[in-house]
Structure 1
Amino acid sequence: MPNDIIILGIFVADTSYRADRQPRMGETILGNKFTLGPGGKGSNQAVAAAKSGGNVGIITKLGKDAFADMALGIWSDAGVTSLATQHDESYTGAAYIFVEESTGNNAIIVAPGIAATISSDDVQKHTADIATAKVFVTQLEQPIDAAMTGLQLARAAGVKTILNPAPVAEISDKMLSLCDYVTPNETEAEGLTGITVSTPQDAERAAKAILSRGAGAAIITLGENGALYHDGIDTLHVPAITAGPVIETTGAGDAFNGGFATALSQGMPALSAVKFANAAAAISVTRPGTAPAMPDRAEIDALVKIDANHAK
């Protein structure tokens, strides 16, 4: 059965360390907590989309090791269809995540392993999967050529396209012109436009600059300030929703993108989809971890309803 959402991305095993601060070069410090769990933006977004009610498949490459077993297990539990291939010439990716205890802010190093070899040819093997979807999502943790091919195949088939331009990289206007929606955070928006984004007004200027390069719409996620949507006609600042104390922000952007993809795939208008995604992100930051923090559909719907009632 075809998947409504196809996500191209990578899986990595997250090794997460909580401490009062990062060590300086040459220094060893004691941490407060360690966890091992599933990560990678593509994988996180697939889990977020599935848990929020989407019918999602993930295209990626894994090794043949314990971390690959972790990936397949988390996808199965969340209801994600694996379109991954497994290889023995390299390892499944891993990530170092430092979480600052007092704020929940994070810094990350990703070693993608075999996923760094995802090629245009690998993506083309999934042409039929992409063409029969409603929404295609990619990020930039795998090679840009592969992402470009996925966007081209989706656009040719009339599939809605979402580019989450993370991590920051140089992106051509040609690539942006293939994107119905581009979803950077403040740092990524600055990387795309040269505009420092600190406020919703800054975000609107950056969004307009992204559209001037060919994108259909820009959604700039602003952390505690919510998100800014602009499509050349409508502009909406969606304030952040409070779902509880912030524990960790690591997976917030992935929760947003996964929720947004689900909402679009189920026919929600873009502005409603942004509000749905904002609620998904708000819940995710009240929990530690990345994929394990993704909320389910009932939780998101309940928070959207509460927020709508407050807005009346």
Structure 2
Amino acid sequence: MSVTEIPSRRGVVVVGSVTADLTTFSQRLPARGETILGDDFTLVLGGKGANQAVAAGLAGAPTSFVGCVGDDLFHRLVVESLSAAGVDITHLRTVQGPTGIAHIRVDDSAQNDIVTVPLANSALDATQIDRALTALAPTTAVLLTQLETPSTLTEYITGRARELGITTILDPAPAAPLPDAVWRNVDIVTPNETEATLLSGITVTDAPSAALAGAWFLERGVGAAVITLADQGSCVVTPTSTTVIGAFPVTAIDTTAAGDAYAGYLGAALASGAELADAVQLAAAAGALAVTKRGASPSLPGREEVDALLAENAAAEGATAL
């Protein structure tokens, strides 16, 4: 079902993870067994699900989040941060125990490594998902989900969204093998080059190899594949065409949450009725801006920033702004 078929549906629902992100910044990452001195530290809202919800909210879409948070000292951080971005947290469930945690290390080249501990996220279950999606379906056009939720739930999430006529976007991160039943319920998959390589078995390094990997997803029933290639842009593979949408040149400081900014803006644009190519361009601008700031949720750009970058690009390169 197209997101434009039901005019009353303009919302985005995100089913996914939420964490407290503890991030250290240093000139380089330590070698195995080494201790080094860092330059800075932040504690902010994170988790791929929560980040995507914040991004979709900042993009202007009515956004709801479905997930679990602990009843510990990080509970307030999660609730206040999601609410501040305009995200509906009616279906954010508080469970006993600690909130999910992500430990992120970032070096001066903007590269990072991450250890995520699910904790409260593991409490997400089919009953909570079904209750939320059933309630939200009348006003929801797009569902975003990722692979930081319990793997046994991915098939249920995507299948239930298909039954309710909600367009499903899967960010397959962290990459993990999925049954064909999941792929058949996915309208758009958005892997980066590493994830596309791991999932398809095709080494993705450029647009031609991304196109081959995209075809692999379509062969398994996915409606369209949008493979992100960092500064090489995005390769969009559909049953009728393969196109490359260019990247926006920026100076990267921290790549954390760039993919989440991309996914959130993509979902918001599609929910508003945008065509896929236009939605990808908007998403690419949001992802580019996210790498210019430190942190996860604090790096997610507002709509005015994204529109300004699109306008600059149109002026400089003759592109058509959304």
- Relative to the length of structure 2, the TM-score reads 0.92
Instruction: Decide which moves more: 139-148 or 266-275.
Output: 139-148
State the distance in 2 between where 1:137 and 1:154 align.
10
State the distance in 2 between where 1:291 and 1:111 align.
18
Unaligned runs of 5+ in 2: 1-7
| Superposition pairs of residues 244-255 of structure 1, within 5 angstroms | 244-255=250-261
Kept in 1, the 8 Å contact 2:147–2:174? The answer is: yes
Q: Does 1:12 align with 2:14?
A: no
2:52 to 45, 60, 63: 45
Instruction: Decide which moves more: 250-259 or 299-308.
Output: 299-308
Match of 2:151 in 1: 144
Match of 2:187 in 1: 180
Over the aligned positions, Cα root-mean-square deviation in angstroms equals: 1.5
1:87 to 77, 90, 95: 95
Shift of 1:6: 0.5
How many residues matched? 309
Kept in 1, the 8 Å contact 2:9–2:141? The answer is: no
Match of 1:162 in 2: 169
1:291 to 252, 277, 297: 297
Shift of 1:308: 2.6
Matching residue's letter, 2:283: A
Match of 1:67 in 2: 74
Kept in 2, the 8 Å contact 1:130–1:154? The answer is: no
Shift of 1:62: 0.7
Give the secondary structure class of the aligned counterpart of 1:6: strand
Give the secondary structure class of the aligned counterpart of 2:118: strand
Shift of 1:3: 7.2
**CA deviations over 1:104-160 (Å, ceiling 9, x no partner):** 011100001111221222212223234221001100001122222121111111111
Kept in 2, the 8 Å contact 1:247–1:288? The answer is: yes
Q: Percent identity?
A: 37
Kept in 1, the 8 Å contact 2:10–2:271? The answer is: no
State the distance in 2 between where 1:127 and 1:263 align.
20
Match of 2:4 in 1: none
Unaligned runs of 5+ in 1: none
Match of 1:279 in 2: 285
Give the secondary structure class of the aligned counterpart of 1:69: helix
Kept in 2, the 8 Å contact 1:8–1:147? The answer is: no
Matching residue's letter, 2:263: N
State the distance in 2 between where 1:220 and 1:181 align.
10
Instruction: Decide which moves more: 174-183 or 145-154.
Output: 145-154
Give the secondary structure class of the aligned counterpart of 1:60: strand
Match of 1:259 in 2: 265
Match of 1:31 in 2: 38
Kept in 2, the 8 Å contact 1:120–1:145? The answer is: no
Match of 1:214 in 2: 221
Give the secondary structure class of the aligned counterpart of 2:74: helix
Match of 1:113 in 2: 119
State the distance in 2 between where 1:69 and 1:219 align.
35
State the distance in 1 between where 2:155 and 2:183 align.
9
**CA deviations over 1:134-190 (Å, ceiling 9, x no partner):** 001100001122222121111111111100000011111110110110000111101
2:306 to 282, 290, 300: 300
Kept in 1, the 8 Å contact 2:22–2:104? The answer is: yes
Give the secondary structure class of the aligned counterpart of 1:161: strand
Matching residue's letter, 2:234: A
Instruction: Decide which moves more: 113-122 or 217-226.
Output: 113-122
1:310 to 290, 297, 316: 316
